[in-house]
């Protein structure tokens, strides 16, 4: 037992020691290349020593690596390849020492070592950090998080496991418990593996969240060694925790829909917040890059008192607010439409413009948020807004818009929030609009806070 523990202990030095042969051998190759130059010729005498040290450290790495690998928490095929590549590297380094007198041979050896070290190192990296770690930046971190946090259109219809639980496991557990690595012999990347459990037995006890290791490990105090995910790794959030608990407590089923399981208010909330993520993604900045906005237009707008600035630092997307302006000159409107690629958010409260000028807004096809509250936007001009296909938020509070005019906006595909308080929209119009814009939250306002007797009286001691 002690021997086993000791070999395990030694094995854990592998991640530290591997860097020695990598460094020494690469440095030796650099020296070898330098030594071909006349100025550095004296370096030739240290080359054999470099290869000797490189070989020695490579052998030590191989031994510790073998001990670590036999603990058996890694993907077999990658591990095998990594092992043999490592051994080959060690042998090639020995060859480098033995043939160091022959300049020509040494060139080939150096080249082989360069290739071997790269491949072995990459395989080692794949073992520790998981598949695709190196190229993650190219596949796009954004794409990754979108894939794992797939937004749901209707959380109640979604599948409990596939749509709610699996994305959590994928994001927080797969890096150590999936195809490329199975710490503790546990794989979680499909229902069969989840049910099978790890080397210490089942991790899922349907109906008993606290008794299931899968949940129990998550709620352990983070300073406990058994706490999962381990310290330093992304942790399970509060929302994810209650969903996990709920899923196990409700039977740990892999097929059912959310609405088939009993839900407390907190769970309902957590589920619907998975839907909210979708709305949030829609109002975030678009992924596509746009060129910088023309400075002349911006300077012109600012000189007229428009607050116009990038939505975020290092972004070319713009927001504009006409907060102190109620009248516009034609040049200002032209400058504004010249920013049609960049302009995402536009506020023109109380703006008074001619119908022809309102129609010019239809050029701003990239707009996400548009606030025209209390403006004199008329019935005819509103139809031109139907060209704004990206519009998510539209504020027409206090305008003279009526139901017929509003119906011309029923084809806005991205619209999620529509504010119509204080307009000429009747309740019949409202019902028709609700049917036409199913994805849109329509607010017709008119809220009252009734005055209660207690609002104007005081409690006194009698």
Contact positions toward other proteins, by CB under 8 A? 237-239, 265-266, 268-269, 273, 276, 280, 284-285, 292, 295, 298-299, 305, 307, 309-315, 321, 323-324, 349, 371, 373, 393, 395, 397, 417, 419, 421, 443, 445-449, 451-452, 454-461
The alpha helices in 130-264, defined as continuous H runs, are: 136-139, 141-148, 166-172, 191-196, 213-219, 238-249
Minimum distance of other proteins from residue 461's CB (angstroms): 6
Minimum distance of other proteins from residue 388's CB (angstroms): 16
Minimum distance of other proteins from residue 307's CB (angstroms): 5
Minimum distance of other proteins from residue 218's CB (angstroms): 13
Residue nearer to other proteins on the CB measure, 212 or 373: 373
DSSP code at position 157: T
Residue nearer to other proteins on the CB measure, 106 or 392: 392
Residue nearer to other proteins on the CB measure, 18 or 401: 401
Closest of 260, 231, 264 to residue 245, by C-alpha: 264
Q: What is each CA distance from 311 to 111, 314, 316, 332, in whole angstroms?
A: 51, 9, 8, 20
Residue nearer to other proteins on the CB measure, 428 or 452: 452
Residue nearer to other proteins on the CB measure, 137 or 459: 459
| Nearby residues of 242 by Cβ (< 8 Å), 6 or more positions away | 266, 267, 270
Minimum distance of other proteins from residue 393's CB (angstroms): 7
Minimum distance of other proteins from residue 430's CB (angstroms): 14
Minimum distance of other proteins from residue 230's CB (angstroms): 19
Q: What is each CA distance from 261 to 150, 161, 199, 245, 319, in whole angstroms?
A: 21, 12, 31, 13, 44
Element at 2 (helix H, strand E): helix 2-11
Helical packing angle, 19-34 and 103-129, nearest 10°: 150
Q: Residue 301: count other Cβ atoms within 10 Å of its Cβ.
A: 23
Q: Cα–Cα distance between 19 and 281 in angstroms, integer?
A: 42
CA 126-130-132 angle, to 5 degrees, is 75
Residue nearer to other proteins on the CB measure, 122 or 227: 227
Closest of 405, 350, 360 to residue 387, by C-alpha: 360
Residue nearer to other proteins on the CB measure, 74 or 393: 393
């Amino acid at each position: 037992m002690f021997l086993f523990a000791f070999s395990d202990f030694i094995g854990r030095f592998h991640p530290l020691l591997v860097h020695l042969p990598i460094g020494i051998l690469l440095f030796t190759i650099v020296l070898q290349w330098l030594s071909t130059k006349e100025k550095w010729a004296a370096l030739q005498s240290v080359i054999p020593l470099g290869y000797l040290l490189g070989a020695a450290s490579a052998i030590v790495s191989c031994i510790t690596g073998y001990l670590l690998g036999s603990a058996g928490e890694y993907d077999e095929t990658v591990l095998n390849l990594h092992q043999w590549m490592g051994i080959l590297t060690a042998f090639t380094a020995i060859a480098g020492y033995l043939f160091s007198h022959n300049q020509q041979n040494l060139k080939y050896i150096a080249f082989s070592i360069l290739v071997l070290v790269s491949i072995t190192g990459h395989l080692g990296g794949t073992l520790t950090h998981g598949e695709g770690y190196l190229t993650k930046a190219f596949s796009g971190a954004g794409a990754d998080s979108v894939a794992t946090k797939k937004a749901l259109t209707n959380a109640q219809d979604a599948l409990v496991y596939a749509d709610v639980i699996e994305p959590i496991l994928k994001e927080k557990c797969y890096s150590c418990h999936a195809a490329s690595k199975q710490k503790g012999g546990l794989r979680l990347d499909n229902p069969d593996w989840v049910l099978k459990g790890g080397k210490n037995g089942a991790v899922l006890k349907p109906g008993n969240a606290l008794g299931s290791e899968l949940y129990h490990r998550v709620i352990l105090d983070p300073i406990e060694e058994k706490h999962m995910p381990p310290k330093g790794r992304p942790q399970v959030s509060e929302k994810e925790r209650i969903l996990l608990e709920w899923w196990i407590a409700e039977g740990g089923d892999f097929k059912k829909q959310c609405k088939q399981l009993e839900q407390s208010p907190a769970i309902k909330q957590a589920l619907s917040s998975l839907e909210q993520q979708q709305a949030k993604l829609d109002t975030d900045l678009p992924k596509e890059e746009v060129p910088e906005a023309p400075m002349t237009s911006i300077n012109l707008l600012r000189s007229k008192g428009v607050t116009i600035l990038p939505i975020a630092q290092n972004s070319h997307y713009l927001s504009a607010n006409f907060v102190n302006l109620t009248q516009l000159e034609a040049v200002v409107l032209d400058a504004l439409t010249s920013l049609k690629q960049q302009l995402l958010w536009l506020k023109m409260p109380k703006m008074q413009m001619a119908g022809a000028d309102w129609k010019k807004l239809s050029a701003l096809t990239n707009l996400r948020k548009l606030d025209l509250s209390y403006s004199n936007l008329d019935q005819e001009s509103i139809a031109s807004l139907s060209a704004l296909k990206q519009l998510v938020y539209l504020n027409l509070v206090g305008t003279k818009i009526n139901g017929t005019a509003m119906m011309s906006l029923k084809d806005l595909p991205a619209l999620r929030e529509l504010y119509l308080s204080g307009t000429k929209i009747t309740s019949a119009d409202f019902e028709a609009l609700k049917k036409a814009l199913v994805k849109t939250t329509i607010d017709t306002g008119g809220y009252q806070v009734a005055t209660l007797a207690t609002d104007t009286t005081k409690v006194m001691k009698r």
